[in-house]
Amino acid sequence: MEQQTIIEQAEAVMATTYKRFPVVLTRGEGCTVWDAQGRAYTDFIAGIAVCSLGHCHPAVTEAICRQAGTLCHVSNLYYTVPQVELARWLVDHSFADRVFFCNSGAEANEAAIKLARKYFFDRGQPERYHIVAMNQSFHGRTLGTLSATGQEKIRKGFAPVLERFDFVPFGDIEALRRTVSEDTCAVMLEPIQGEGGVNCPPPGYLAEVRALCDRVGALLIYDEIQTGMGRTGTLFAYMHEDIAPDIMTLAKALANGLPIGAMCAREAVAAAFTPGAHATTFGGTPLVTAAALATARTLVDGGVLENGRAMGDYFKTALEGLRSRHGVIVDVRGRGLLLGVELDREGAPVVNACLEKGFLVNCIQDKVLRLAPPLVVGREQIDALVACLDQVLP
C-alpha cells in the first residue's frame, strides 16, 4: 500500500491521541529504519529510549522466535522459566530483592504507588499515603500515575486525580525538606527527568533526598523507566552516585521493544505484596521475559553498555562544540545517551529539517531536542547527525 493511502486510512479510523509525522515505518535494522517508500532514516530516538540494542537485534529476535514456538503465555497461576531467570538477573544486577512484572511503565509505577501505600497500611499507618513528586516529572498516563505527574498540560481535563500528592522543584532539597513530613509515605522521582526536558539534579541531591527519607521513614521510589538499562551510561542511573532507592520501576528498554514493565523492591518493602494483593494477566509472560533476558545479557555481556557510555561522552562533546557555533543552543545536558539540547526557540522546525535529511530526532517541552539513539550507535552516525544539525540550526 502507498504511504499516503496508509496515512489517510489511519486518520479515518485511529483514535486521535497522537500527532504523527507523515511517515510510515515498515522495517528496522540496527540504528536504521525504513519507510514504506524505501527511504532510510538514522534513528536518534529509538522508540523513545526503548530499542537500545538497535532494531531487530539478532539475539532478541532469536529469543522471541524460539520462545514463540515453545510457550507464549500460561498466566501467573504457574511458574515459567524465563520469568524467573529475568527476575534473578535484575536482583543480581541491582539493589532489589524482588521483582513484580507488568506490561508498561505506567503499570510499574501504579504497582510502586500501591506497594508504598500497602507497606504503611501493614505497619498500622493506613492514613500515611502522602507522596511527594517533582515538578516537570512524568510517571505515566493512568489516573494513578497522572496524580504523580507534575505537568499541568498532561493532567488537564482529567481531574480529579488521587489525593495527597505534592510537588516540589526537582533538585531543590530545601523545598523537599519543607514538604516531606512524618505523614509522607514516599518520595517519587526520576534520577534524570526524561519527558520533562532531560533535567539532571545537582550533584549530591539524591544523597540528600535519601537521607531525608531515612530520617522521616519515608520510602524512596526511583522511576528508572527511561533512565534504566544502560541509557545514562551505567546499568541504572542510581549507580552514578550509588544512592539506591527502596523501589525502582523499569519498562521502556527492558525488552528492546516488547511491552514489559517491572517494579523492583527491597525485601522489607516487597513483603507488603502478599498473595492476592496485586496482579496482572499478562505480567511477565514467557515471551516478553525471554526477550528481556536476551536484551539484558546482550547489554551487559555483549559490550553494549560500554559502547553506550563511550558514545554518550563523544556525542555530548560534539553537541557542546555545536553549541559554541550556534547561539540558538542555550544548554546541552544529560548523561550517557540520554541527551538534551535546549534551544532559545521552538524545536519543531529543526526536527522536521532533520527528518527531511534522514534523521529521526525528538523535541520535548517545545524547545528541547532529545537525543536517545540505540546504545549500539557508532561515531559515524553521531558525526552525520551533528553535521546535519550544523546545517539546519540557525
Ligand X SMILES: *Cc1c(COP(=O)(O)O)cnc(C)c1O
Report which secondary-structure segment, H or E, holds 52.
none
- Cβ nearer to ligand X, comparing 47 with 312: 47
- Answer whether 248's CB lies under 8 Å from 270's CB: no
Which one of residues 54, 105, 171, 284 is an interface residue with ligand X (CB under 6 A)?
Answer: 105
Which residues ranging from 216 to 245 are in contact with ligand X (CB under 6 A)? 223, 225-226
Q: For residue 60, how far is the Cα from the chain centroid?
A: 19
- Cβ nearer to ligand X, comparing 83 with 199: 199
Instruction: Name the 3-class secondary structure at 323.
Output: helix
190 lies in the binding site for ligand X (CB under 6 A): yes
> What does the per-residue mask of binding to ligand X show for 293-322, with x meaning CB under 6 A?
------------------------------
- Answer whether 124's CB lies under 8 Å from 106's CB: no
Backbone angles phi, psi at 52, to 5 degrees: -70, -25
Min dist. Cβ of residue 8 to ligand X (A): 27
**Cβ neighbours of residue 145 closer than 8 Å, sequence gap 6 or more:** 106, 109, 110, 113, 139
Which residues ranging from 127 to 146 are in contact with ligand X (CB under 6 A)? 138-140
Min dist. Cβ of residue 144 to ligand X (A): 11
24 lies in the binding site for ligand X (CB under 6 A): no
Please tell me what DSSP assigns to residue 75.
-
- Answer whether 216's CB lies under 8 Å from 182's CB: yes
Which one of residues 47, 194, 283, 336 is an interface residue with ligand X (CB under 6 A)?
Answer: 194
Edge-to-edge strand ranges of the sheet holding 329-335: 329-335, 338-343, 368-371, 362-364
If binding means CB under 6 A, how many residues of this protein chain bind ligand X? 15
110 lies in the binding site for ligand X (CB under 6 A): no
**One-letter amino acid of 388:** C
Which one of residues 42, 80, 94, 104 is an interface residue with ligand X (CB under 6 A)?
Answer: 104
- Mark the segment that binds ligand X (CB under 6 A) among 52-60, 105-113, 114-122, 271-279: 105-113
52 lies in the binding site for ligand X (CB under 6 A): no
251 lies in the binding site for ligand X (CB under 6 A): yes
**Separation between Cα atoms, residue 344 and residue 16, nearest integer Å:** 30
Half-sphere exposure of 37 (CA within 13 A, CB side): 10
Helices 304-325, 286-301: inter-axial angle, 10-degree rounding = 70
- Cβ nearer to ligand X, comparing 192 with 218: 192
Min dist. Cβ of residue 251 to ligand X (A): 5
- Answer whether 51's CB lies under 8 Å from 66's CB: no
**Separation between Cα atoms, residue 31 and residue 307, nearest integer Å:** 14
**Distance from the first to the final alpha carbon of the chain:** 37
All cell numbers assigned to 194: 526524561
**One-letter amino acid of 142:** T
> What does the per-residue mask of binding to ligand X show for 147-186, with x meaning CB under 6 A?
----------------------------------------
- Mark the segment that binds ligand X (CB under 6 A) among 101-109, 154-162, 174-182, 315-323: 101-109
Min dist. Cβ of residue 300 to ligand X (A): 21
- Cβ nearer to ligand X, comparing 138 with 273: 138
**Site of interaction with ligand X (CB under 6 A):** 104-106, 109, 138-140, 190, 194-195, 223, 225-226, 251-252
